[in-house]
Amino acid sequence: MKITYVIQKSRRRSMSIQVADDRKIIVKVPLGTPTFVAENFIREKKDWITKQIEKVEKQSKLADFMGPLTEEDIRQIKKKARVIIPQRVEYYAKMADISYNRIFIRLQKSRWGSCSVDGNLNFNCLLVLMPPEILDSVVVHELCHRHHMNHSKEFYDEVLRIFPDYKRCNKWLKQNGGVYFKRIENFGFECHSNALAR
């Protein structure tokens, strides 16, 4: 399999490879890295790259089969999300004794959730299309950022204490999440809902 790629140099310390949804391969390397070093890195990662391309193609076919979401679909999804997501946040917040500020429900093209330093929690409305435990895993992930604004060992220890099945759910999201993003590729904007107070 012939691999076509683009090399991007920046002020970074290590090399990495990204396979985009359009199958474009981006190789990120530190400034001053010789081309042959980058090419050797690509050869070393050839099997991984091939698997990622196959994964992207599989997700693309599944998204095509399911069809793109319409604006009416999104309205209904967001309506459902505004009910379900706050309930799950409240459930786990009480269980783990974690406080938060406001909840925002959005249609996002690349993120499932986030937590701001102000304690606001942001969630992608598409999460309600997934199995319930996947939504819960994202909720717990973001809630735990109220105690750890990083992805340290302490952070993941707390996540696993609250939600022991997190690793399996996170793996599922990484393997299947791309299908949901592909179904909203036609949207040229980010749809925001109103903030939901506690």
Domain boundary among 33, 51, 66: 66
Q: Is residue 26 located within the same domain as residue 99?
A: no
Band of pLDDT at residue 153, cut at 50, 70 and 90: very high
Domain hosting 179: range is: 71-192
Please indicate whether residue 2 or residue 37 has the higher confidence score (pLDDT): 37
Based on the domain organization, do 34 and 80 belong to the same domain?
A: no
**Taking residues 49-63, what's their average pLDDT?**
75
Last residue of one domain, picked from the residues 51, 66, 81? 66
Q: What is the pLDDT of residues 179-190, one digit of tens each?
A: 888 888 777 644
pLDDT, tens digit, for every residue of 67-90?
778 889 999 999 999 999 999 999
How would DSSP label each residue in the chain?
----EEEEEES-SS-EEEE-TTS-EEEEEETT--HHHHHHHHHHTHHHHHHHHHHHHHHHHHHHHH-PPPHHHHHHHHHHHHHHHHHHHHHHHHHHT-----EEEEE-SS-SEEE-TTS-EEEEGGGGGS-HHHHHHHHHHHHHTTT-SS--HHHHHHHHHH-TTHHHHHHHHHHHHHHHHHTTTT--S-EEPPPB--
For residues 82 and 180, state if they share a domain: yes
Q: What is the mean pLDDT of the chain?
A: 88
61 lies in the same domain as 118:
no
Residue-wise pLDDT for 115-142, tens only, equals 999 999 999 999 999 999 999 999 999 9
The pLDDT assigned to 78 comes to 95
Given this model, what pLDDT does residue 192 score? Answer: 46
pLDDT digits (tens, 9 = 90+) for 97-109: 999 999 999 999 8
pTM of structure: 0.69
Residue 197 lies in a domain: no
Q: Around Cβ 92, how many Cβ atoms within 10 Å?
A: 17
